Structure 1
Amino acid sequence: MGPRTAGADPAGGRTRVSPTGDGVCVDAPLRLRFEHPVEIGRRGRLRVHRGDGAVVDTIDLADPEVGRRPIGSARSEYGELHLWNYHAVLVEGEQVILTLHGALDPDEDFVVTMDPGFVRGHPGITIEDGWRFHTRTPPLPGARSLAVDAAGHRHFCTVQGAIDVVPEGNDRDVLITIAPGTYREIVYVPPTKPHLTLRGADRARTVISYPNNDLLNGDAAMRGLPIEISCCPKRVLEESDRFNCWRAVFGVDADDVTVEDVTIHNTTPYGGSQAEAFRGNGRRLRLRRVSLLSHQDTMRLQGSCYVVDSYIEGEVDVIWGTGGIVVVDTEIKALGPGYLTQIRNVDDGPGAVFVNVSLTRAPTVPDGSTYLSRVELSRFAHSQVVFVDATMDAHIATTGWITTDVGGRWDTSRLRLREHGTRTIDGRPVDLGGRSGVARLLDADEAAQFRDPATFLGGWDPR
């Protein structure tokens, strides 16, 4: 399914298009490659025709609904099919990436046409230009092993395409392997598809990225919509969890899901609103050898989740959620002044425990500018955050912790901010005498309990 030429580009060269030929994934994105940067026009249609001439999908630049579609059979708390906002057309320099509204039929012939001006200055692509391909037949639902490859050499071209073929109510372990490549997509695992392992080649070579955020798929984007249409499923905090579950690059609402050996990058720029790389709201979730990259709200976890041998970076509320979260042997890098965590316990249940983590910073982050956690006392005065055997650079504030809504009427007696064995990056003990009075140091016996994730996670041992 390599690229071929079809039509002239705006500078008089040839436009290279893909996919073409036989054996094309049913979920393959469409791509046009030029010899120079291009821009998309304001009007025009790209159409996908079946072999019999019927139009099966259209990307219409003038249609305000062109960037809305279902992803992963997501449904609101009220059972309504959720429509995500997405970028039907992405321009990356000399390349245009087009995402169709759904998978194509298997074992069918297709031809693609494009109106003049769809790409500024381009004369268009006609049926005679010959952008044709034939789709392969993917594995049937119920397969125990599925393979993804952005280059089109496996069952699917997208991660979501593999998840979609897993049957509703799945009760068997399913392995989804993801070949090296960059996958520009929003990924969602619904509550009805547990027992999945998604395994990349390694996190340096397998990258899932997308500019998803609150302005595209969150409270800011959906403010004013009836709550029945897009209200988050499995809400933990009814007031807070209205629409903010849809803004992650990779979202999981199922139990027993493992993600390993990948990088998940929310490419929303600095200041572009809340933008999770990964959001998990399930029991017994595991992240192993992953890199999570964003600026604000990089990782949100609810339910029970274990993170090990990983790398997480961000600026504000880098890790947040309701717990229980265990993060082990992981680097957490501050990209700017802010807060590493914001844990929101509403009861005495488990919060977040960090064991043997390394807290590092970008070169521009000043000394004393970053807090271990911030807690909103008016709503989450039961919150639990524990650091055991952590190494910390000098960007961590001497007080360590910060609380908001600090008026005298708030009871902090059930606040569980704890620390033990903190060292500098070069291994020297940190003087914790200046820590905030709302926190407490653990003794050796207390700290030992938190080194065992099964003790903290109600008997589940994720190791």
Structure 2
Amino acid sequence: MGPIKSIRVSQSGQSQFKTIQSAINTVPMQNSQWTHIQIAPGIYREMVTILKTKNCIYLEGASSNLTIVESDGHMDKHLEFPTLNSRADNTVAKGITFKNTYNDPALRGDENHKILPALAARVQGDKCAFIECAFLGVQDTVFDRSGRHYFHKCYIQGGIDFIFGDARSMYDECTIMFSMGKEGPKDMGGVITANKRSSPKDESGFVLKNSNITGNGIGKLTLGRGYGEYSRVIIANSFLGDVVSPQGWVAWNGASHEGNLTYVEEGCTGPGADKSKRVPWMKHLSGNQLQQFTDIKLFIDPEGWISKLPIQHS
């Protein structure tokens, strides 16, 4: 790859581009040069799409509190309208909030509004990383579609299947917040993960480690349910708040095939970490078996692609 190309986006008119999408549109097809798109503070009300052929894009905001991208698209006849639709390899974002407002009745002015899948982000592509970003939604917040993905120090908020898909992803030092939205249902339970691993050879799986799983004090949630018949989620060395339900996991599409599901909790603490009433088919891993998931080099980064990203993170 050649030297990094830099582009600035600002709503103040102090740069060539006022929208993120207009800056992305200038990146050539079959791109192989890192393009650094620096995004000034502001609320950018737009859907951002990174086409499959536009590799090596690095989106950097001022911070997740200052640079916010929001839209209100939702699933319609199996079509997705995410706030961020990233389909390219080698996509990086840092210091940005991606928000989907569709399921926020306070913003829509409709207390009887039906909750629908409404994605804050859809990530499909290999070797993608999100550093210190926030993803806000209610149902299907992050569609972790396919490829190897790394989420570091991110904040992910939702209520129903708000991390779902069939990617091979690590969520490291993240905050996972269960919330149905400011004005959402008060007594509805939720689910964090819905992993769609479909066979023993499928490399998909979600690892949440060194993270904080918490809630807004309303309702309980399960850690995951089997979107695929071989669904796989490992939670390690994390704090589990009292928002976690005693059973912990639900078979869903894996019902009657619970032995194929790989749901693991190891080294976790907090009031929600009591495993005495967990489902009996939850698995236990230790030593090398656990390390193949919790070691970033073994799980998603054997060739060292993360260290080669044009970004510094702690």
Q: TM-score range by the shorter chain?
A: 0.7 to 0.9
In the alignment, is residue 174 of structure 1 matched against residue 20 of structure 2? no
Residue 312 (structure 1) aligns with: 156
CA distance in 2, matches of 1:311, 1:143: 28
> Is 183-192 or 434-443 further displaced after alignment?
434-443
Contact 2:164 2:193 in 1 (8 A): yes
Which whole-Å CA distance do the structure 2 matches of 1:197 and 1:275 have between them?
A: 24
Structure 2 counterpart of 1:341, from 177, 193, 203: 193
Q: Which runs of 5+ in 2 are unaligned?
A: 105-113, 181-188, 308-314
Output the amino acid matched with 1:172. Q
Render the CA deviation track for 1:306-363: whole Å, top value 9, x for unaligned: 0001101000001001020110000000014200010001223131111111001013
Matching residue within 426, 434, 437 for 2:277: 434
Aligned to 1:210: 71
Alignment partner of 1:289 is 2:132: yes
| Aligned equivalents of 1:323, 1:203: Cα separation in 2 | 24
Task: Supply the AA of the counterpart residue of 1:168.
Answer: M
Is the aligned partner of 1:372 residue 2:223?
yes
Partner of 2:310: none
How far apart, in 1, do the equivalents of 2:4 and 2:102 lie? 35
Distance between the aligned counterparts of 1:259 and 1:406, measured in 2?
Answer: 34
Q: Match for residue 95 of structure 2?
A: 261
Deviation per residue, 1:66-87 (Å, 9 max, x gap): xxxxxxxxxxxxxxxxxxxxxx
Residue matched to 1:322: 166
**Structure 1 residues 393, 417: CA separation in 2 closer, same or farther (over 3 Å shift)?**
same
**Match of 2:119, SS?**
coil
Q: Which AA in structure 1 matches 2:167?
A: G
Seen in structure 2, the aligned counterparts of structure 1 residues 256 and 393 have a Cα distance that, compared at 3 Å, is: same
Residue 414 of structure 1 is matched in structure 2 by: 260
| 8 Å contact kept, 1:393–1:424 | yes
Conserved 8 A contact 1:453-1:460: no
| 2:108 matched residue in structure 1 | none
Offset of 1:458 from its aligned partner?
5.8
Contact 1:420 1:442 (8 Å CA) reproduced: yes
CA deviation string 1:45-86 (max 9, x = no partner): xxxxxxxxxxxxxxxxxxxxxxxxxxxxxxxxxxxxxxxxxx
How many Å separate the matches in 1 of 2:171 and 2:60? 19
Question: TM-score normalized by structure 1?
Answer: 0.59
1:279 is the counterpart of 2:99: no
Q: Following the alignment from structure 1 to structure 2, what is the Cα–Cα distance between the partners of residues 171 and 445?
A: 36
The answer for the alignment partner of 2:62 in structure 1 is 201
- 1:450 matched to 2:293? The reply is yes
1:445 positional shift: 4.3
Is 2:207 the counterpart of 1:353?
Answer: yes
In the alignment, is residue 155 of structure 1 matched against residue 6 of structure 2? no
| Aligned twin of 2:86 | 252
Whole-angstrom CA distance in 1 between matches of 2:293 and 2:194: 19
Change (3 A) 1:266 1:152: same
Provide TM-score, normalisation by structure 2: 0.85
Pick aligned residue for 2:52 from 191, 196, 215: 191
CA distance in structure 2 between the partners assigned to 1:414 and 1:458 by the alignment: 25
Q: 2-side partners of 1:158 and 1:318: how far apart?
A: 27
CA gap 1:403/1:412 in 2 versus in 1, 3 angstroms:
closer
Q: Partner letter of residue 359 of structure 1?
A: I
Which of 398, 406, 409 is matched with 2:246 structurally? 398
Q: What does residue 389 of structure 1 align with?
A: 237
State the secondary structure of the residue aligned to 2:93.
strand
Cα distance in 2 for residues equivalent to 1:297 and 1:319: 6
Q: Are the aligned partners of 2:229 and 2:254 in contact in 1 as well (CA < 8 Å)?
A: no
User: Per-residue deviation at 1:267?
Assistant: 1.0
SS at match of 1:153: coil
Letter in 1 for 2:139: Q
Q: Distance in 2 between matches of 1:158 and 1:458?
A: 33
SS in 2 for 1:441: coil
Q: What is the distance in 2 between the residues matched to 1:170 and 1:443?
A: 42
Q: Highest relative contact order (Cα 8 Å, sep 6+), 1 or 2?
A: 2
**DSSP 3-state at the match of 1:446:** helix
User: What is the distance in 1 between the residues matched to 2:43 and 2:130?
Assistant: 19
Decide which structure has the larger Cα Rg and report it: 1
Q: Secondary structure at the match of 1:170?
A: coil
- Alpha-carbon separation, structure 1, partners of 2:289 and 2:210: 15
Name the aligned partner's letter for residue 258 of structure 1.
V
Equivalent residue pairs, number: 284
1:23 corresponding residue in structure 2:
none
How far 1:296 sits from its partner (Å)?
0.7
**Taking every aligned residue pair, what percent have the same amino acid on both sides?**
25
Q: What's the Cα RMSD here?
A: 1.9
Kept after mapping to 1: 8 A contact 2:50/2:87: yes
- 1:146-167 deviations in Å (ceiling 9; x for gaps): 1100121111000000000011
Write the letter of the residue equivalent to 2:33: R
Q: Structure 1, residues 418-443: CA drift from partner, whole Å, max 9, x if none?
A: 11011006xxx933122112211222
Q: Residue 154 and residue 416 in structure 1: after superposition, are their counterparts in 2 closer, same or farther (change >3 A)? A: same
Equivalent of residue 299 in structure 1, options 142, 161, 176: 142
> Hey, what's the Cα distance between the residues in 1 that align with 2:278 and 2:72?
37
Specify the code of the residue in structure 1 equivalent to 2:10.
D
